[in-house]
A and B are shown apart, each in its own frame.
Chain A
């Protein structure tokens, strides 16, 4: 009796049968009208929401997010001037400064949460939405879908924005602070990223993706 199997599981016969991810309650997912969501009767988890033209909106918003992300990382975020002296910083500059000060681990964490994870989050969503437009959704789209929630967990643009605003007010007492283009781009990006996640419906892609165990596909 082996614990680990190389064999694939057999899907349950009834495709509408699911288990709640948060409490494991087995239930049948009803078919939903546009804008309607289904919740677990036991723990109130949102099991599914039927979104209108999810893929097109995800793609459009994803491209918008990518443009804002590039702007946010190409221009200064904050500038400062006091008695004839000035300084400015970018998103990347913040992480670099930490690194140069010997806080390498925190620098990597900042770099990861505000540049790498958001870039992956946006890139994954665009790639998945593009792949989902194909008649047969390829398996690599499934691999990206599996990791997409993780990129979302660690992407912290909105948290950084709040931190930057606090820093801005703090420094404003000492010097004249100039908000840069990147700061406004980040503000817009926060909302666009939230809209991307709201429009994105992974279930729609999963239902059409090519199965690993092709024989079991129904």
Chain B
């Protein structure tokens, strides 16, 4: 396979990300248009790395207030209690509630941090022109892409807890300022994943494969 591993880029062809048609741009043109569906075509998504870095850094910045600020505050006759995400997990932790506590812990704490680290790793290896483990890195990208949406779980837990528990003056629950930052982390990492062009993972190794062929 290695000697015949030629990318569309090396052949000067562009593949449409919408309809999959492979086509050749007119001479001297870098950004053509798909003859079938009119999508604008590029060899690689423009400024993929810069945009992915921008979203990723913004997500990392939001990650701090997302974990420090309260996401829910509960008002009862005795006063108001505010909980951050990790305090919410601790509250769920009980002999019967621990499976849910683990779900929230994984979705809200582990997935977002693992996503930020994984994307950082992918971006750095692509920038350094890493030649190896393309298959593993592509798999990592797909896992990050697939799993990212599940971090939204905590946003929905807090939304519907707050909208249901409205029993003034007995007890009421309101969303806290941390919720905005937490939702931002989820959205920004999803945008970073969307911006990243996985074909870049293979460009360095593809070029070397051709050189050896």
B179 beta carbon closer than 8 Å to chain A: yes
Write the chain A residue with the least CB distance to B107: A162
Q: Which of A64-110 contact B (CB under 8 A)?
A: 77-78, 80, 82-83, 85, 87-89, 93-98, 101, 103, 105-106, 109-110
* B131 vs chain A, min Cβ distance (A): 14
* B77 vs chain A, min Cβ distance (A): 13
Q: Given A78, A93, A106, A142, which contacts B37 in the complex, CB threshold below 8 Å?
A: A142
Q: By the criterion CB–CB under 8 Å, are A11 and B22 in contact?
A: yes
Q: Which of B1-31 contact A (CB under 8 A)?
A: 1, 5-9, 11, 13-15, 17-26, 28-31
* A208 vs chain B, min Cβ distance (A): 11
Q: Given A87, A145, A166, A217, which contacts B166 in the complex, CB threshold below 8 Å?
A: A87
CA distance A206 to B7 in the complex (A): 23
Q: By the criterion CB–CB under 8 Å, are A166 and B103 in contact?
A: yes
Q: Given A11, A77, A159, which contacts B21 in the complex, CB threshold below 8 Å?
A: A11
Stretch at the interface among A18-26, A52-60, A125-133, A192-200: A18-26
Q: Mark B148-189, 1 if CB is under 8 A from A, else 0.
A: 011011111111111111110011001100011001000100
B60 beta carbon closer than 8 Å to chain A: no
A174 beta carbon closer than 8 Å to chain B: yes
Q: By the criterion CB–CB under 8 Å, are A3 and B202 in contact?
A: no
The residues of A that contact B157 with a CB separation of less than 8 Å are 163-164, 166-167, 170
Q: By the criterion CB–CB under 8 Å, are A106 and B180 in contact?
A: yes
* A14 vs chain B, min Cβ distance (A): 9
Write the chain A residue with the least CB distance to B154: A163
Q: By the criterion CB–CB under 8 Å, are A146 and B37 in contact?
A: yes
* B197 vs chain A, min Cβ distance (A): 9
CA distance A142 to B38 in the complex (A): 9
- How many residues on chain B are close to A (CB under 8 Å)? 81
The residues of A that contact B100 with a CB separation of less than 8 Å are 166, 169-170
The residues of A that contact B198 with a CB separation of less than 8 Å are 22-23
Q: Given A18, A97, A142, which contacts B22 in the complex, CB threshold below 8 Å?
A: A18
B199 beta carbon closer than 8 Å to chain A: yes
Q: By the criterion CB–CB under 8 Å, are B1 and A41 in contact?
A: yes
Q: By the criterion CB–CB under 8 Å, are A5 and B167 in contact?
A: no
* A-B residue pairs in contact (CB < 8 Å), sample of 25: A5-B31, A8-B35, A9-B14, A10-B24, A12-B24, A26-B7, A43-B202, A77-B160, A88-B164, A93-B163, A97-B162, A98-B162, A98-B163, A106-B155, A106-B180, A142-B18, A142-B19, A145-B19, A162-B103, A163-B152, A167-B164, A170-B91, A202-B19, A212-B34, A217-B36
Q: Which residue numbers of A lie inside 8 Å of B, CB to CB?
A: 1-12, 17-19, 21-26, 41-45, 77-78, 80, 82-83, 85, 87-89, 93-98, 101, 103, 105-106, 109-110, 113-114, 142-143, 145-146, 153, 156, 159-160, 162-164, 166-167, 169-171, 173-175, 202-203, 206, 209, 211-213, 216-217
When A and B form their complex, which 3 residue pairs have the shortest distance between CB atoms, in order from nearest?
A163-B156, A9-B23, A97-B163
